[in-house]
Structure 1
């Protein structure tokens, strides 16, 4: 068995899930790496909006350290970066270009960019926006780890010169997400997600319009950032923010949950969201919009229901027999446990590191 790795992760946040999906991904991955015996140091820029909303200020796995500035990062953590077998720089890290340049210049082992927002990143680069990554840096990362697979990986290698673009999809911690047979559903359809302009038409089409059509149905939307002018039907409950500790109860209280995908992710395809895996792990059946590659994660009609219109969403809610609805959720859960847990991602990551080492040996 190969020896455990020393890994340093410079990520957006692991201590706060406020307004970002990065925290749950990092928590699951670091926990799985720690359980497998690897030593992980997570470095997070101390930002006020996260400091005011920390739902896991001291993660009980790996080691987490906050830093106030680039100078503090370099002064306090250069030795750890030099000694690490792997240094990971994540998307949306504050001063990410400067952090990436420093990591590439300082690291003694492999250096990876972990893009939790790959289609958004590539769209930004296309506009000349280098908020957290510059095109010139991509060839200098030994690995480009992407939340998005499929043709995007080929593009990263062909157009941007990545030595090795590999999928590292989001995942789920099965200890935190599981069915709750004692929890009777209180809502027919729910959705969890921070507001975004490009997801809102899907929310209108697949949840709000069905809610207006089916006044006896119960619906719920959780997530911050929704503007005051959204016309919420009376049968739609609103929750501003749910910390991860309450996600399982949210999913298990629903007969169905809705998965919506940002426009850049739809255009790229092969971009499952963490909410998709979380809900499935709870055996809550999912109604989802469609994007290329979705059928490589779940079998439509058997493990997930695709809705392209309000009528299709409403038909799933009203016409699917309860025993078939439960079977869809159970089949989706089996698929997640077989291929999409954090332990699977940790194993994949370690494999990529050994692959990168062999390529440079």
Structure 2
């Protein structure tokens, strides 16, 4: 099928945590015979911070962040068999959603792909005239980055015909063990941009743990932290490109995952960082959230913390030998059950089922 995918960015992970999710998913779908065109706006300096060149498995159309350019690329949805508008494009989101769905053919499969379902659902609840609420009756599918049963129930409550979680996963060709690099040396490392709905949890789980263990070395990567007050044993790197993530995950004794507020509250929303770290064989410490056991087993494949004191306790007790054992177990589990080949097969089947349903209705 010919897929037109309107998202934030395929080429850059700069202020764009969904980049690796898009890459893993769409690369696998292309390998299954689908033709991908990815439309992304030239916004937020992402094109100045590209991680990859346009890949051979997708045509990437970068358009100016202007109303006219947005309308022009939206009109191209008419040529696609599958039209996908992702959440969080960041520029003219509502207009783009309504434009691409209006331009799509009656026989096309229309999808809203939500990479931040808890936040989107909060917006829908607060705004009865939200563009997505108006568009839901036109859609064949809502796919979500995570969220599990609570998100499915909420979307169905707003009128979605079908809502299916398609979780993050591992691309073993991209994220895997590599030799360590001295600049990523630390006892505990955290990678994530500074966002309003994450900052307090970073203070609780990361900075508090650093303050409790002044003799240990802590490392934080991601944009926005330069002016944040931190304990003296925390070193800040700034933006870490996806090509550097393997070394970032492999080098420290352990790495920390911290969910954003809404994803922690809803659960069933493992971040890309979870799979990247597991793929690299890192010893992962994560904050607690519902549904974690679907992906990793507590105490054997991941260490789980309820607060900064727990994080500090895990780190104080962790030996290099146990860290390696946890990382190896996590990598084995994720490689067996949670790669983008698994997710691509899921989405391929979803698309074929949706196409059959439309043919059966004579759409």
Query: Paired residue for 2:137?
Result: 139
Which residue of 40, 43, 56 maps to 1:44? 40
Q: How is 1:195-344 mapped onto 2 (pairs within 5 angstroms)? A: 195-226=194-225, 228=227, 230-344=228-342
Alignment coverage as a number of residue pairs: 353
Shift of residue 48, structure 1, vs aligned partner: 5.1
- 1:332-358 superposed Cα distances (whole Å, 9 cap, x missing partner): 112211222222222211111112223
| Segment drifting more, 284-293 vs 342-351 | 342-351
Match of 1:151 in 2: 150
Does structure 1 retain, via aligned residues, the 8 Å contact 2:144–2:164? yes
* 1:130–1:296 distance in 2 versus 1, CA, 3 Å: farther
- The CA deviation at 1:181 is 5.2
Q: 1:187 to 1:227 in 2, by over 3 A?
A: closer
- TM-score, structure 1 as length reference: 0.91
Aligned mates of 1:126, 1:194 — CA distance in 2: 26
**Deviant stretches of 4+, over 3 Å:** 69-79, 181-185
Change (3 A) 1:246 1:102: same
Residues 1:27 and 2:26 are matched in the alignment: no
For 2:9 and 2:129, how far apart are their aligned partners in 1?
Answer: 20
Query: Distance in 2 between the 1:99 and 1:213 partners?
Result: 47
Quote how far apart the aligned CAs of 1:125 are: 1.9
Q: Distance in 1 between matches of 2:44 and 2:206?
A: 34
In the TM superposition, residue 227 of structure 1 has moved relative to its aligned partner by 6.1
Could you list the runs of 5+ residues in structure 1 that have no partner in the other structure?
A: none
CA separation in 1, counterparts of 2:260 and 2:307?
17
Please list the CA deviations of residues 231-266 of structure 1 after superposition, one character each: whole Å capped at 9, or x if unmatched: 222221101101111111111111111010111111
1:63 aligns with 59
What CA distance in whole angstroms lies between the structure 1 residues aligned with 2:241 and 2:181?
19
Aligned to 2:38, the other structure's residue is in SS state strand
For the aligned residues, what is the CA RMSD? 2.1
The Cα offsets for residues 19-47 of structure 1, whole Å up to 9 and x where unpaired, read as 12022221222222223332101011222
Q: Distance in 2 between matches of 1:124 and 1:165?
A: 17
5+ long unaligned stretches in structure 2: none
For the residues of structure 2 that align with 1:208 and 1:75, how far apart are their CA atoms?
Answer: 46
Alignment deviations for residues 85-132 of structure 1 (CA, whole Å, 9 cap, x no partner): 21110001222222222222222310101100100111122222978x
Hey, what's the Cα distance between the residues in 1 that align with 2:166 and 2:20?
A: 14
Match of 1:104 in 2: 101
Q: Please tell me whether the aligned partners of residues 5 and 38 of structure 2 are also in contact (alpha carbons under 8 angstroms).
A: yes
Q: How far is the alpha carbon of 1:156 from its aligned partner?
A: 0.7
Q: Secondary structure at the match of 1:195?
A: coil
Mapped to 2, the partners of 1:67 and 1:319 lie a distance apart of 51
Q: Which residue of 2 aligns with 1:92?
A: 88
Change (3 A) 1:312 1:101: same
Change (3 A) 1:48 1:223: closer
Q: For the Cα contact (< 8 Å) 2:39–2:73, is it kept in 1?
A: no
- Alpha carbons 1:139, 1:160 under 8 Å: kept: no
* TM-score, reference length from structure 2: 0.90
Match of 1:170 among 165, 168, 171: 168
Query: What is the distance in 2 between the residues matched to 1:210 and 1:47?
Result: 36
Residue of structure 2 aligned with 1:180, choices 170, 178, 186: 178
Give the direction of change, closer, same or farther, for the CA distance of 1:147–1:246 in structure 2 (3 Å limit). same
Distance 1:190 1:348 in 2: 33
C-alpha separation in 1, matches of 2:116 and 2:342: 20
- SS of the equivalent of 1:261 reads coil
Asked if the contact 2:201–2:261 (Cα under 8 Å) also holds between the matched residues in 1, the reply is no
Residue 323 of structure 1, CA deviation: 2.6
Deviations, residues 301-336 of structure 1 (Å, cap 9, x unaligned): 111111113232122112134333222111111221
